[in-house]
Amino acid sequence: MKLISNLSHKKKLKKILQVIANWFYVGKLKPAPGTWATLSTLPLALLLNKCGPFYHMFAIFILLVLGIVAADFYEKEFNVADNSEIVIDEVVGFLITMLWLPQTWQAYAVGFILFRGLDIFKPFPIGYLDKKVKGGMGVMVDDMAAGMIANIILQQLYIHTSWLGAQIVFINS
């Protein structure tokens, strides 16, 4: 009886890791699952930005740890390396992109385009990390780097230009 219970728990854990790896099945959308995953992350990024940087960073940390475990599981379970269905890396990368930025449509639009461009074209050091680091960490690290580079560029745009618009202010009633 205990063996059946353990098998049931293992099946549930495998299903949870699969759902995390492909971000609630968004990774199965074709074409461009990474772009769909980034789009699906917009509401979460808006919510976390509104909650404040502590919660935003905490969510990134939790999703990063879960992402490494889930991506590693997915690669081993399905015998694939960095499969396009694994999109938790895009979720974490875009959340990093939008950290400490104003809530403006311009910031989100430029952040989306910049992050996707860096993730797709993989300039140095993103491409280097993509080729050299393997496993779950390898899946995540190039998107983390793309998110960090995009965030630095966006921070500079915000500080030195008005391209990212004015902050959206929420008034409590």
Question: Considering the chain, what percentage of its residues have pLDDT values greater than 70?
Answer: 92
> Which residue ranges make up each domain of the chain?
24-160
Q: Is the pTM of this model over 0.85?
A: yes
Q: Give residue 6's pLDDT.
A: 72
88-118: pLDDT as tens digits = 999 999 999 999 999 999 999 999 999 999 9
Give me the chain's average pLDDT, please. Answer: 92
pLDDT at 171 over 90: no
Q: Give residue 84's pLDDT.
A: 95
Nearest to 70 by CA among 112, 15, 116: 15
